[in-house]
Structures are given as C-alpha cells and as structure tokens.
C-alpha cells in the first residue's frame, strides 16, 4: 500500500534496515578502500585485521573523507547512560559539542522529515552531494528504512568494549583474574596450605565434624554412663518436701586420698622391712573451720557419745573437733555436758577410711604438760568390724586376733577356771555352721587394736614420784591370752633401753597388752613443738609391728611372740582392715588423776598437724580387703554400730530373732523391752559386775508376755 514519502511509515509496518547509510556498493568499497587507507599514516601499533575498529587516523575528522565505510571506536560502544530526552531529535550527549560533523548524519527514521521537506535537503541553495550518504538508487526509500546506527542507539545491540571475537585474542587480566605465578605449575606449597584461609577452612570442617560426633556419639554415651553412675536420677523425685537436689560443695570436701598440701619430699619412705613405701593417704588439716559431724567429711567423723567401756569422765561432742591454724584441734573443757563434768573430742575414720598393712603416722603436740598426770590423749587403730565406743559391736570381737582354727581360745573365758579371761568368747571364729551369721565363713574375724601412742606421765625418780616427764605407751592389744599374759619375749626387741622399756602392765581379764613405754620431751606439749608417732606393720602370723617416735624406732614385736602357747593357738598380727582413731579423754581407769594440777591447764587442746598412711605394693587401702570384707556385714547389723546404748551383741541377736518370728505385740512393748535391757546393762557397767552377765541378760529378756505380731518394725533394731 502506497503512502506519502513525507509522512512517517505506518506504525505497525516492519522497518526497512539499511546498513550504515552508505551510498556505495559494499563490494566496491572493499576494493577501493585500500588506496585511500594508505594515504594516511599508520599507527605505531599495527591494528589487527580482525578488529572491528581501526585506530583513529589523524586528519580524518569525518567519516565522509573516504568512500569506505566509516570506522570509529565510537560506533562499537554501547549507548552511554545520559539524561533522558523527551524527544528523539534532541541532541544526544554522545554527539560532538564543537560542531556538526559527519557523525551527526546518523538520524532516526523520520528525523529529517520532521525538520524539513525533502527538497530542502536536495534542492536548497547550499545543497551538497555529501549531505546524504544514501545511494541515489535508494534515495527515494529512506523514509521506509531504519539504519543500523539508529537501531544500535535505540536497542543497544552494538558489541561491548573488550569483546573477544577470536580464540587467539588475550583478555586483559585484572587483580582478581591475574593468576599467581606459583599456581601455574598446579602444585600447592606449605605457605598456601597453612595460610589463614586454609586454616579457617580446615578448622571449620573439623569443628563441624566434631560437633556431629559429639551430638550423635558423645551425647548418647554420656547419657548412658550418667544413668549407670546415678541410677536413682533426681533424688528429689521421691521426696515431696525436697526443693532441689543441687547442694553446694562444702569447703572441707576432698576429691583425693592425698591432701594437695602434702609436700612432695615426704611422699616416699623406707619401711621397716627395707621396702620402699609410698604415700597413699594424707590429711594436713590446713583448711580452717572444718567440722566433722556425721556426713560432713568423707574420711572422718567426730563422735557424739559417752565412752562408757573405759568409764571416761567426759562426753565426746562433735563441737570439740575443729581445724584452726593448720591443725586438727581436739579441745577438752571443764563444763557440764550430758550430766558429765567434762567435754572433749574424738575423731574416727570407721567404715570410711581403712588400711591393711603399711605405716600410720601423725604429728602431734600433746595437750597439757608432760609433768602433770591425768589427761589421756591417744592415736590408734582398730579393726573395722568393731566401732570404738559402741560396746555391742566390740562384744566378742575386741581384742581378738586369732588364727583360722577353732580351739579353746575361742570359748568364753578361754575355758580357764583360773580367771585369766572374762571375755565372752570369739563371736566370729573360723568354724561356723552353714547359714550362720558370719561375714565370710572359714576365717576368724575380729577387731584387734594397735596403739601408736597413749600419752601419760613417767617419773625419773619412781621412788619419790619426782622429776615427772611425759611418756608414750605404744602397744598391741591381743586375745586370747597367754598364761598370765606373758608373751614370748625372744621375739620382742627394744631398740634403745635408755629411752624405752617394756610396760609393767601386761594385761588383765579383758586384754593382753604387749606394750613399751618411751620417754618424751616436755616441750612436745601444748603447741610448743610437735613430734611424730606411728607404727609400721605387716599382717599375718609371721608379720611384725614396729613403733616409731619421730624418725627413731622404739621397739618391735614379731608374730612369733604370740605364737601357740599351751592350748592357745597362734595369735596373728592383725589381718583385719583397720580404722583410725584420735581422741582426748580422761579416766581413772588409765591413770591417776591430778585434778588440782589439771584445772589450770583447761581448756586443753590436743593438736594434730597431719595424719599420713604409707604402703608398699602389698598394702591395701580399703574397708573390704581380699578375704576380709566388712561393709556388707556392718550394713546388715547397723543398729549395733550406731546405737551406743546397746552393749551386748546377744541382745541384738535375741531381738532380731523375735522380730523374725513376729512374736511381739506392739511397738511400745518392744520399746519397753529394749529400755529394760538397757537399764540393766547400764547398772551392770556402773557396778562392775562382769560374771554371769549372759544368763542375767537372757533372764530379763525372757520375762515377757506372749504377744501377737505387729504390723510395722521399721523403727526397731
């Protein structure tokens, strides 16, 4: 459909594209362009024949200076961003501002028509054949076409700068794409391997891997182990009155057997047999303000009892056992306590800390004065199956230490009509019946005693009782007894008779004592100075005990000293696990009482700097050594070890038998029976009657009415 050439083409008609508005034939231009190109000087850098643009030639200010197509870098660049134009014919910022050049001949499809008529371009007085670059044969059809320059400005179809068209062209590298010369060989050096970036990458991977392992392996294992360690879980679940089971740690709770304050230079020593011994336990008591009530300390407990078996004059109270100034202090005061005139302290490791074999030592500053008699401080050990101060637990146990056979030595009074022994007989001998109450049948079990020191007073002038000095009795208590309590002294050695001598007291109806008394320095009292007291022993029938004061051995006894004698068999150096006791008492059953001289010394304090245990590879630090267990038996008879008012094991046995038969009526009746028995026992202790006690005790227990079973026995023995 024809239309006016002066008007713009139809809106929806496809445009006719004309290449570069040239008027010459492209083939002829390529043939004739070379002579013209040679007329201009060449650039110092030869241009690639494949380049779309050539370097600008000097003097060529217009693309019309040659019949060849115009070559300019500007024609290859994309349109620049500029201020938007309201109309198409507004001047582009890409155009020269110095004047209209040949570049301004690029126009839109109808820009020339809008500026003037067709005749004004060709028929004006200043018309030039170069005003329009179109070929004459196409002159009449420029309204219908759109050249490539116009399209590039409108649609941005021109190639971008730096475009590589050929494989051999090299891209200009920048800092990001410039390869490191060390990377060209494809090898990684140590500097690159351990660079910051490499470490961060590897560390991140390791952290993620570790987190995954902990999440899927570590956490399940920890959960399983925690359930095995604490199967009960939260202890508050079963107690509605419990708010939280999280209790802050006490200051005196220890996490190891060896005190961190123990110096390194005292952690080894040489034993009496020449073997090297190593420190296995120590308590330096350096932490002030420690208390020793029940469950306050993992190794020690201060007693709250009257020590009636020796008729002490004081009440042992936990308040009297504390730590201060780097020492354990057992304080003796003269005031009323539990209807007694004195109060003092006793510390025990019973059923908490036990040892078998080795060397036990304590550094002590004795209380009072060495020349004033009356105080009874002690540091000793006893078999764990007996608890000091609880007479029912030691009944038939202390101070037996017998071989694993049965003879007259295990019988009451040793079957001796001469009155050498008033012991009730061995409660746990080796010969036991099947099903009998025994910790391990076939073994003789007991509660022997070894004393590191029981302090008293000696007189240098024994005749006139003058020149008093302190003394230390170091002994081994044993049963059954030799004839008249005389051991075989051929196996006893006193190292320095000028300082130590055999004790004149060798025993009585309740014990045989192998003892030596050693003189002490009166400066080793009342905190002025400290001295070490201890003993080293090896258990067994061929064992020994060696006592020390300081680093000096005082005396030694071998197992052969208490070997078979008459109808009594071998007494053995204790095989039982031994607990440790430190106490400060007073009793007229041990020594004479100089109350006039003691009064100005009160309150008196027994100070213990440390307690240590050394053992070689044969020692055992446990309350359940191999072949000699104790804890299970104690748990099954706990009333005997926790009720100091029970003094006879037979009472416990009878009451346990009655409860098993359910032959009682009500709890008050059972309580009355126990109180009746305890009153008798107390009267027996006060009167000192020691004969026929078993018969009398049974007579009291049997005086009861026939009773019906009770429904609850939780608070009974």
Q: What are phi and psi of 710, to 5 degrees?
A: -100, 165
pLDDT for residue 45: 43
Q: What is the mean pLDDT of the chain?
A: 76
The pLDDT of residue 224 is: 82
- Among the listed ranges 42-51, 285-294, 396-405, 635-644, which one has the minimum average pLDDT value? 42-51
Separation of alpha carbons 395 and 637, rounded Å: 13
How many other C-beta atoms lie within 10 A of the C-beta of residue 171? 8
How far apart, in whole angstroms, are the C-alpha atoms of residue 694 and residue 701? 11
459 or 35: whose pLDDT is higher? 459
The beta strand positions in 504-592, using DSSP E, are 512-519, 531-538, 544-549, 552-558, 578-586
Three-state DSSP class for 208? helix
580: phi then psi, degrees, rounded to nearest 5:
-110, 140
Percentage of the residues of the chain whose pLDDT score is greater than 90: 50
Q: Where are the domains of the chain?
A: 16-42+50-155, 188-224, 348-637, 649-702
List C-alpha distances in Å: 89 to 109, 130, 505.
11, 21, 138
Please report the DSSP string for 317-369 in residue order: -GGGEEEETTEEEEEEB-S-BTTBSEEE-EEE-TTTSEEBSEEEEEEEEBSS-
Identify which has the larger pLDDT, 92 or 254: 254
| Cα–Cα distance for residue pair 272/181, rounded to 1 Å | 78
Lowest mean pLDDT among 47-51, 316-320, 431-435, 494-498: 47-51
What's the pLDDT tens digit per position in 652-711?
766 666 555 544 444 445 445 555 555 555 554 444 444 334 434 443 333 333 333 333
The per-residue pLDDT for range 148-163, each reduced to its tens digit, is: 556 556 666 666 666 7
pLDDT tens-place string over residues 96-130? 444 444 444 444 444 444 444 444 444 445 545 44
d(CA 637, CA 626): 21
pLDDT of residue 112: 42
pTM over 0.75: no
CA distance 654 to 643: 16
Identify the burial level of 422 via C-beta atoms within 10 angstroms of its C-beta, where 0-12 means exposed, 13-18 middle and 19 or more buried: middle
Q: Residue 270 and residue 359: Cα distance in Å, rounded?
A: 10
Q: What is the pLDDT of residue 472?
A: 96
Token representation of residue 285? 């008591």
Would you say domain 348-637 falls under CATH 2.60.120? Answer: yes
Q: Is 374 exposed, middle or buried (0-12, 13-18, 19+ CB in 10 A)?
A: buried
Distance of CA 648 to the CA centre of its chain: 44
């Amino acid at each position: 459909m024809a239309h006016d050439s002066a008007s713009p083409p139809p809106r929806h008609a496809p445009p006719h594209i004309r290449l570069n508005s040239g008027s010459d034939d492209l083939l002829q231009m390529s043939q004739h362009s070379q002579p013209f190109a040679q007329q201009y000087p060449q650039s110092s850098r030869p241009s690639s024949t494949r380049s779309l643009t050539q370097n600008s030639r000097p003097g060529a200010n217009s693309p019309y200076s040659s019949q060849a197509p115009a070559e300019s870098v500007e024609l290859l660049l994309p349109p620049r961003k500029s201020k938007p134009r309201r109309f198409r014919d507004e001047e582009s910022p890409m155009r020269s501002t110095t004047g209209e050049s040949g570049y301004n001949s690029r126009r839109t499809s109808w820009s020339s028509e809008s500026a003037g008529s067709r005749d004004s371009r060709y028929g004006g007085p200043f018309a030039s054949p170069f005003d329009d670059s179109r070929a004459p044969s196409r002159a009449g059809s420029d309204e219908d076409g759109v050249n490539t320059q116009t399209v590039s400005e409108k649609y941005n179809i021109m190639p971008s700068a730096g475009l590589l068209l050929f494989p051999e062209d090299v891209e200009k590298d920048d800092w990001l794409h410039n390869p490191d010369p060390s990377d060209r060989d494809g090898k990684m050096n140590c500097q690159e391997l351990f660079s910051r970036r490499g470490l961060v990458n590897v560390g991140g991977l390791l952290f993620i891997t570790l987190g995954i392992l902990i999440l899927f392996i570590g956490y399940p294992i920890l959960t399983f182990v925690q359930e095995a360690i604490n199967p009960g879980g939260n202890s508050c679940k079963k107690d509605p009155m419990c708010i939280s089971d999280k209790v802050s740690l006490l200051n005196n709770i220890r996490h190891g057997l060896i005190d961190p304050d123990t110096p390194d230079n005292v952690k080894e020593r040489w034993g009496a047999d020449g073997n090297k011994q190593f420190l296995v336990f120590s308590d330096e008591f350096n932490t002030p303000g420690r208390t020793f009530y029940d469950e306050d300390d993992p190794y020690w407990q201060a007693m709250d009892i009257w020590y009636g078996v020796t008729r002490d004059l004081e009440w042992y109270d936990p308040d009297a056992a504390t730590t201060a100034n780097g020492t354990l202090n057992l304080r003796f005061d003269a005031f009323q306590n539990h209807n007694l005139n004195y109060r003092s302290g006793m510390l025990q490791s019973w059923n908490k800390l036990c040892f078998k074999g080795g060397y036990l030592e304590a550094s002590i500053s004795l209380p009072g004065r060495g020349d004033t008699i009356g105080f009874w401080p002690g540091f000793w050990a006893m078999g764990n199956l007996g608890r000091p101060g609880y007479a029912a637990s030691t009944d038939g146990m202390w101070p037996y230490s017998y071989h694993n056979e049965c003879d007259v030595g295990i019988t009451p009074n040793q079957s001796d009509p001469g009155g050498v022994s008033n012991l009730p007989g061995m409660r746990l001998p080796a010969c036991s019946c099947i099903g009998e109450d025994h910790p391990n049948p076939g073994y003789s079990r007991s509660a022997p005693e070894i004393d590191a020191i029981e302090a008293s007073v000696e007189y240098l002038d024994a005749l006139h009782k003058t020149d008093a000095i302190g003394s230390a009795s170091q002994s081994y208590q044993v049963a059954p007894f030799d004839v008249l309590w005389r051991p075989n002294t051929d196996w006893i050695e006193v190292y320095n008779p000028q300082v130590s001598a055999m004790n004149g007291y060798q025993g009585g109806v309740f014990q045989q004592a192998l003892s030596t008394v050693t003189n002490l320095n009166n400066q080793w009292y009342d905190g002025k100075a400290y001295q070490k007291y201890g003993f080293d022993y090896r258990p067994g029938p061929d064992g020994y005990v060696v006592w020390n004061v300081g680093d000096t051995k005082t005396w030694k006894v071998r197992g052969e000293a208490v070997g078979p004698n008459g109808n009594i068999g071998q007494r053995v150096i204790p095989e039982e696990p031994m607990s440790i006791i430190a106490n400060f008492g007073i009793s007229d059953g041990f020594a004479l009482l100089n109350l006039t001289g003691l009064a100005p010394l009160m309150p008196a304090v027994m100070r213990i700097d440390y307690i240590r245990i050394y053992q070689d590879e044969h020692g055992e630090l446990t309350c359940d050594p191999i072949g000699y267990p104790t804890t299970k038996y104690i748990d099954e008879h706990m009333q005997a070890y926790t009720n100091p008012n029970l003094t006879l094991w037979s009472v416990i046995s009878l009451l346990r038998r009655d409860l098993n038969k359910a032959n009682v009526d009500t709890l008050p009746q059972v309580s009355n029976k126990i109180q009746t028995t305890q009153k008798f026992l107390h009267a027996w202790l006060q009167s000192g009657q020691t004969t026929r006690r078993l018969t009398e005790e049974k007579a009291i227990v049997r005086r009861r009415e026939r009773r019906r079973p009770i429904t609850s026995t939780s608070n009974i023995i």
